[in-house]
């Protein structure tokens, strides 16, 4: 597959503005082409500036559906909820008019929760127009942790699932994640990272000859060249 393209910025604020403008352009194009747009975003500490910038972009947000790349199996009342993070930081300002499709649903187990999320997301207008991924220092992206149980199934390019449960000791609580084909089918696959440490991790992952980290597997299996957005 084509090597990912780097987009480097001098500051994190410039990165946030640049990525927000790129995503907004993709959403506008999708609305013009098919009347709706579909975006998946990540949680964590990195996307705060990007969320704030994107929330102020002018477009017809009432025609945009926002979902999550992955989620902890916790309700929105939890401080660890990615849904709560998205609502507080992205679904504000202009973007308050967007429709939000969460991954978490009340269920007895994360497996049942994944089934509910999978069924609820299936009628949405796939493929994604943009999937904005993060990356951890261990090389995980989405909830594809290197020590996740059943990692091969999560990264199966032929999977018929949109959402799967994840059990990983390093992740802490159980999680829900979009599967690899659900993510890499996006018109725009972007990895948003900041700092020299994460740049070193992704560069090492891209250069590794064997035992690829999950981030490498995702980038390798994206049918279109992914974009890496980075600032120191």
pLDDT tens by residue, 146-168:
999 999 999 999 999 999 999 99
pLDDT of 210 reads 84
Confidence (pTM): 0.97
Q: Quick: pLDDT tens for 78-133.
A: 999 999 999 999 999 999 999 999 999 999 999 999 999 999 999 999 999 999 99
SS3 165: strand
How many other CB atoms are found less than 10 A from the CB of residue 18? 17
* H helix runs in the chain, sequence order: 12-34, 48-55, 82-89, 110-121, 151-154, 180-184, 196-207, 214-221
Question: How do 188-194 and 227-231 pair as beta strands?
Answer: parallel
Task: Specify the pLDDT at position 209.
Answer: 81
Residue 56: per-residue pLDDT: 98
Omega into 3 within 30° of 0, i.e. cis? Answer: no
Percent of the chain predicted with pLDDT > 70: 100
Mark 68-98 as b/e (b = at least 16 C-beta within 10 Å): bbbbbbbeeeeeebbbbbbbebbbeeebeeb
**How many angstroms separate the CA atoms of 134 and 188, rounded?**
14
Q: Which domains does the chain carry?
A: 20-231 (3.40.50.1360)
Q: For residue 198, name the pLDDT band (cuts at 50, 70, 90).
A: very high
Q: What confidence tens digit (pLDDT) does each residue in 20-65 have?
A: 999 999 999 999 999 999 999 999 999 999 999 999 999 999 999 9
**pLDDT score of 61:** 98
Residues 6+ apart with CB under 8 A from 143: 70, 154, 166, 168, 171, 175, 176, 177
Report which secondary-structure segment, H or E, holds 10: none
Per-residue confidence band for 1, with pLDDT thresholds at 50, 70 and 90? low
The conformation of residue 7, written as its DSSP 8-state character, comes to: E
Q: What is the pLDDT of residue 225?
A: 96
How far apart are alpha carbons 140 and 3 in whole angstroms? 18
Q: What value does the mean pLDDT of the chain take?
A: 97
Residue 211 above 90 pLDDT?
no
């Amino acid at each position: 597959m084509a090597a990912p393209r780097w987009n480097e910025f001098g500051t994190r604020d410039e990165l946030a503005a640049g990525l927000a403008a790129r995503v907004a352009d993709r959403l506008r194009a999708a609305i013009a082409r098919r009347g709706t747009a579909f975006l998946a975003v990540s949680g964590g500490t990195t996307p705060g500036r990007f969320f704030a910038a994107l929330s102020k972009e002018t477009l017809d947000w009432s025609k945009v559906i926002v979902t999550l790349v992955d989620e902890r199996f916790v309700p929105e009342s939890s401080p660890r909820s990615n849904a709560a993070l998205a609502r507080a930081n992205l679904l504000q300002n202009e973007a308050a008019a967007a429709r939000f499709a969460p991954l978490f649903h009340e269920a007895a187990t994360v497996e049942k929760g994944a089934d509910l999320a999978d069924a609820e997301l299936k009628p949405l207008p796939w493929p994604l127009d943009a999937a904005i991924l993060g990356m951890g220092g261990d090389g995980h992206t989405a909830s594809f942790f290197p020590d996740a149980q059943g990692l091969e199934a999560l990264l199966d390019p032929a999977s018929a699932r949109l959402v799967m449960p994840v059990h990983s000791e390093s992740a802490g609580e159980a999680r829900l994640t979009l599967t690899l084909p659900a993510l890499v089918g996006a018109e725009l696959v972007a990895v948003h990272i900041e700092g020299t440490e994460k740049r070193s991790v992704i560069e090492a992952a891209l250069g590794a000859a064997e035992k690829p980290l999950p981030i490498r597997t995702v980038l390798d299996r994206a049918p279109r060249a992914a974009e890496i957005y980075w600032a120191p």
